[in-house]
């Protein structure tokens, strides 16, 4: 499977002035996990819906390995899997009945269907609850069933829309490990989430979208590289005022409160002197960061801090 | 394609079988209506026995004349009760409806009837319960006039030495056309098809509610992502609910045969042409399911579906002669009734169950129902086709 290319995708809901997608252009390489980040209403779910063909009237082109995506899907109907944000299964059916139904509508039958149900149940570790009604499962098990259904037809391209919402840390860790193992098998995974630490932990490449536009895209390691000379310091106690004044003059010190500081350095070799001065003032460092920012900082910087909902 | 369709049917069946409320609406509600309404309206469809009004004849000076009047007035919906001792007692009794009618014969009436020269007879007084239907009162007035004439003629003939033939009952046989069983339609015969139709149209609720849950939970989005065509989804709902409607029809007919008599009502008489009955039931079912699918596609929430589907059904039933028989409606309402699909269905069922009609008798109602089903399905597809978001979302 080649690169999934989105070229100038635009979409506007009828009766709305603003476009939900406004010329989205992205290249999602084959294999690996591609993180799609954005605040609420940024257009992530709509972008997934356009890729899966749930919405009509979107403009632009979608290609897979250079071929029109529609043509690829006609030739390989099982190439695409979707795990929606909702618990998209029938609560009144058992887990096994849900898996059988969604497998059958994807064309699986007989031994192949039974084998795939067993495989995805084992993968998602839901074998013990296969006979249980889906609506009676815990939140974590529902998420695992949701994922299992998406894997029934062994899709090469898997779209995961907020797959870990509302689960406990154990279930989240299990789901993330499972998703990483899927990528390791060579699948292409598009992963949308609000959880920056998740995306930072599992994604190879990311795109940050807001108001229907792609703000930045690239390899995660490159995006987190920070060449601005920013040093972030977290000390055990606040700086004495004299030292703080001095650093404000020399390094444009910013006090973020709670003994968190940001300093602008001209070169990396200034770090040693800074740390020595802090220790000399009785302020032992708890943590320092230089030359690298975290994803949340980048996200907030790009999407600004205003509330969206 | 067939494999997908079978999977959709199986899913729909399992979902429906586990929907206790939906099953209750589809099966218990019409069965309860059939039993209750057949029993409640059983008198309204009878000619005599249970609907009889009681009357008494009071004649202070001529007990044999009172007896003869009472004999003449008895029958055809009127039953004699014991005569009150006085007019005052008679008035008190009629006020409480026991009896409903008292005919007071004036003094000297016997002599006046026997007078050969005739002349003005003293006036009779009829005391009537205000709750008595006006038609029944008018009928009794006619009977009193007839009884007085009968007494006069009888007395004169006796004086002339001639006898009077049996005139109490008119020699008239009533034959209701189309009834080989030579009986008039009973309450159960009217109510079983009426409430069966009502129940069949209530498939709108389980169809719409599951569809809305599917849309809300994202299962329709998932199916769209797997390129399941929308018409196939509708077909996946049509077949299971068609079977449900047919089972409903069989069970409701069975209720008319077993349940209603068990509660003391009459037994439903079944037609010989089962195929025609099935054709009417199938046409009704397709119209009901298509209506359900349109509501499912248009309604955004369960509340909307309940209001549109439930209230729509109740209105169609009220207009269509399900709740109130059409023959008691004023002309304007009967004309309006022609536009209710439930009236078309009822017309078809009555053609088979009451008139024992042939194919020609059910052709018009079935054609109307099938045309409606096609139009509603086309509208559902049109509404969905105009949506830019195919299965989910705003």
Average pLDDT, chain B: 83
Residue B344's pLDDT is: 93
Residue B390's pLDDT is: 57
pLDDT of residue B173 exceeding 70, the answer is no
Chain A CA closest to residue B391: A54
In chain A, what are the domain boundaries? 4-224, 230-291
Instruction: Determine the Cα angle at A113 with ends A109 and A115, to 5°.
Output: 145
Number of domains in chain B: 2
C-alpha B234/C-alpha B389 separation (Å) is 17
Same domain, B192 and B111: no
pLDDT in tens, B311-360: 999 999 888 888 877 777 778 888 888 889 999 999 899 888 887 778 88
Using an 8 Å CB-CB cutoff, list residues of chain A that contact chain B: 13-14, 45-46, 49, 52-57, 73, 77, 80, 82, 84-93, 97, 100-102, 104-107, 109, 149, 159
Q: What is the SS3 assignment for B48?
A: coil
Query: For residue A53, which of B388, B385, B217, B383 has the smallest C-alpha distance?
Result: B388
Residue B378's pLDDT is: 94
> Which of chain A's residues have a Cβ under 8 Å away from the Cβ of B391?
54
Distance from CA of A13 to the nearest CA of B (A): 7
B8 touches chain A (CB under 8 A): yes
pLDDT bin (cut points 50, 70, 90) of residue B393 is very low
pLDDT of residue B391 exceeding 60, the answer is no
Same domain, B64 and B37: no
Residue A116's pLDDT is: 94
Instruction: Determine the Cα angle at B92 with ends B90 and B95, to 5°.
Output: 105
Across A60-77, average pLDDT: 90
Across B72-101, average pLDDT: 85
Average pLDDT, chain A: 88
What is the β-pairing status of strands A21-28 and A4-11? antiparallel
Residue B47's pLDDT is: 53
Instruction: Determine the Cα angle at A101 with ends A98 and A105, to 5°.
Output: 140
Instruction: State the burial class of residue B46 (Cβ atoms within 10 Å of its Cβ: 0-12, 13-18, 19+).
Output: middle
ipTM of the complex: 0.79
Interface of B with A in 223-282 (CB under 8 A): 223-228
CATH number of the domain to which B112 belongs = 3.40.1710.10
Q: Does a structural domain hold residue B29?
A: yes
Same domain, B308 and B358: yes
Same domain, B119 and B201: no
For the domain A230-291, what is the CATH code? 3.30.70
pLDDT of residue B168 exceeding 70, the answer is no
Same domain, B205 and B217: yes
Residue B393 structure tokens: 């979302």
Q: Does a structural domain hold residue B258?
A: yes
Greater confidence (B173 vs B39) lies with B39
Same domain, B70 and B217: no
Chain B CA closest to residue A158: B225
Q: Nearest CB to B218: which of A88, A102, A159? A: A88
Residue B79's pLDDT is: 86
The yes-or-no answer to whether A4-224 and A230-291 have a common fold is no
CA atoms within 13 A on the CB side of B140: 28
Residue A98 structure tokens: 């849900």
C-alpha A159/C-alpha A54 separation (Å) is 13
Q: Give me the residue label for tokens 């997608």.
A: A21
Peptide bond into B99 cis (omega under 30): yes
Q: Does a structural domain hold residue B392?
A: no
Q: Which residues pair with A289 in a beta bridge?
A: A232
Across B160-165, average pLDDT: 65
Distance from CA of B3 to the nearest CA of A (A): 7
Greater confidence (B381 vs A224) lies with B381
Task: For residue B96, give every residue at least 6 positions away whose Cβ sits within 8 Å of its Cβ, in sequence order, or none.
Answer: none
pLDDT in tens, B179-225: 544 345 677 888 888 889 999 999 999 999 889 989 888 898 889 88
Q: Does a structural domain hold residue B52?
A: yes
The DSSP code sequence of A161-216 is ESTTTT--HHHHHHHHHHHHHHHHTT-EEEEEES-HHHHHHH-SEEEEEETTEEEE
> Which of chain A's residues have a Cβ under 8 Å away from the Cβ of B8?
105
Residue A212 · residue A192 · CB < 8 Å = no
Residue A35's pLDDT is: 92
pLDDT in tens, A86-105: 899 999 999 999 999 999 99
pLDDT of residue B175 exceeding 70, the answer is no
pLDDT in tens, B106-123: 888 887 877 766 666 678
Q: Which residues pair with B329 in a beta bridge?
A: none
Same domain, B303 and B356: yes
Same domain, B256 and B381: yes
Same domain, B314 and B249: yes
Q: Nearest CB to B228: which of A55, A84, A105? A: A105
For residue A209, the tally of other CB atoms under 10 A from its CB is 26
The CATH class, in words, for A4-224 is alpha beta
C-alpha A88/C-alpha A163 separation (Å) is 11
Strand positions, DSSP E, chain A: 4-11, 21-28, 32-37, 59-64, 67-68, 80-83, 157-161, 188-193, 205-210, 213-219, 230-235, 254-257, 260-264, 285-290
| Residue A54 to residue B391, Cβ atoms within 8 A | yes
pLDDT bin (cut points 50, 70, 90) of residue B176 is low
Q: Does a structural domain hold residue B170?
A: no
Residue A303 · residue A215 · CB < 8 Å = yes
pLDDT bin (cut points 50, 70, 90) of residue B23 is confident
C-alpha A217/C-alpha A298 separation (Å) is 12
pLDDT bin (cut points 50, 70, 90) of residue B388 is low
Residue B118's pLDDT is: 63
Greater confidence (A307 vs B314) lies with B314
Residue A299's pLDDT is: 79
Residue A39 structure tokens: 């605040």
C-alpha B194/C-alpha B128 separation (Å) is 35
B17 touches chain A (CB under 8 A): no
pLDDT of residue A222 exceeding 90, the answer is no
Positive or negative CA dihedral for A31, A33, A39, A44? positive
> Which of chain B's residues have a Cβ under 8 Å away from the Cβ of A55?
388-390, 393
Query: In angstroms, what CA-CA distances link B34 with B265, B268, B322?
Result: 11, 11, 11
pLDDT in tens, A166-220: 888 888 888 899 899 988 888 999 999 878 888 888 998 999 888 888 888 988 8
Structural domain that includes position B56:
48-159
């Amino acid at each position: 499977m080649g690169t999934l290319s989105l070229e100038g995708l635009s979409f506007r809901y009828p009766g709305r002035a603003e476009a939900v997608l406004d010329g989205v252009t992205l290249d999602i390489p084959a294999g690996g996990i591609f993180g799609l980040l954005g605040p609420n209403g940024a257009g992530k779910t709509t972008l997934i819906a356009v890729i899966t063909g749930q919405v009509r009237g979107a403009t632009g082109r979608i290609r897979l390995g250079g071929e029109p995506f529609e043509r690829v899907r006609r030739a390989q109907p099982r190439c695409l899997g979707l795990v929606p944000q909702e618990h998209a299964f029938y609560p009144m059916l058992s887990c096994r009945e849900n898996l059988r139904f969604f497998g059958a509508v994807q064309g699986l039958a007989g031994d192949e269907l039974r084998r795939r149900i067993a495989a995805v149940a084992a993968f998602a570790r839901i074998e013990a609850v296969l006979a249980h009604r889906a609506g009676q499962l815990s939140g974590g098990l529902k998420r695992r069933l949701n994922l299992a259904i998406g894997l029934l037809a062994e899709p090469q391209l898997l779209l995961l829309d907020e797959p870990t919402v509302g689960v406990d840390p154990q279930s989240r860790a299990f789901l993330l490990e499972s998703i990483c193992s899927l990528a390791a098998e060579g699948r292409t995974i598009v992963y949308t989430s609000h959880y920056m630490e998740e995306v930072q932990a599992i994604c190879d490449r990311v795109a940050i979208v807001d108001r229907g536009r792609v703000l930045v895209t690239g390899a995660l390691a490159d995006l987190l590289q920070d060449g601005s000379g920013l040093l972030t310091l977290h000390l055990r106690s606040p700086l004495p005022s004299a030292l703080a004044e001095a650093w404000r003059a020399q390094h444009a010190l910013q006090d973020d409160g709670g003994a968190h500081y940001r300093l602008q350095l001209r070169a990396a070799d200034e770090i040693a002197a800074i740390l020595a001065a802090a220790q000399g003032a009785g302020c032992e460092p708890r943590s320092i960061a230089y030359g690298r920012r975290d994803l949340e900082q980048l996200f907030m910087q790009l999407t600004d801090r205003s509330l969206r909902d | 394609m067939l494999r997908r369709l079978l999977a959709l049917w199986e899913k729909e069946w399992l979902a429906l079988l586990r929907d206790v409320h939906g099953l209750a609406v589809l099966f218990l509600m019409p069965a309860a209506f059939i039993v209750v309404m057949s029993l409640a309206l059983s008198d309204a469809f009878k000619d005599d026995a249970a609907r009889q009004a009681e009357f008494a004849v009071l004649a202070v000076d001529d007990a044999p004349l009172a007896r003869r009047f009472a004999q003449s007035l008895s029958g055809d919906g009127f039953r004699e009760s014991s005569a009150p001792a006085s007019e005052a007692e008679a008035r008190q009794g009629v006020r409480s409806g026991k009896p409903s009618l008292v005919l007071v014969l004036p003094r000297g009436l016997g002599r006046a009837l026997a007078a050969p020269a005739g002349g003005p007879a003293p006036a009779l007084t009829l005391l009537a319960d205000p709750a008595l239907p006006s038609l029944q009162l008018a009928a009794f007035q006619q009977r009193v006039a007839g009884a007085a004439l009968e007494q006069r003629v009888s007395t004169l003939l006796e004086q002339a030495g001639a006898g009077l033939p049996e005139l109490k009952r008119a020699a008239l046989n009533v034959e209701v056309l189309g009834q080989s069983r030579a009986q008039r339609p009973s309450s159960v015969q009217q109510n079983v098809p009426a409430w069966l139709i009502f129940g069949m149209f209530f498939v709108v609720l389980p169809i719409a509610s599951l569809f809305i849950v599917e849309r809300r939970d994202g299962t329709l989005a998932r199916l769209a992502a797997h390129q399941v065509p929308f018409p196939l989804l509708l077909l996946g709902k049509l077949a299971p609910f068609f079977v449900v409607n047919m089972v409903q029809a069989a069970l409701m007919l069975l209720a008319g045969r077993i349940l209603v008599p068990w509660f003391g009502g009459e037994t439903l008489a079944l037609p010989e042409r089962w195929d025609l009955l099935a054709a009417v039931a199938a046409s009704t079912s397709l119209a009901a399911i298509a209506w359900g699918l349109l509501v499912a596609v248009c309604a955004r929430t369960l509340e909307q579906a309940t209001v549109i589907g439930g209230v729509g059904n109740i209105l169609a039933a009220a207009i269509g002669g399900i709740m109130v028989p059409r023959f008691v409606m004023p002309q304007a309402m009967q004309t309006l009734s022609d536009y209710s699909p439930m009236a078309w269905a009822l017309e078809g069922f009555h053609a088979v169950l009451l008139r024992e009609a042939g194919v020609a008798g059910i052709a018009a109602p079935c054609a109307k129902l099938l045309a409606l089903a096609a139009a509603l399905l086309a509208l559902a597809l049109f509404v969905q086709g105009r949506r830019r978001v195919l299965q989910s979302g705003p």
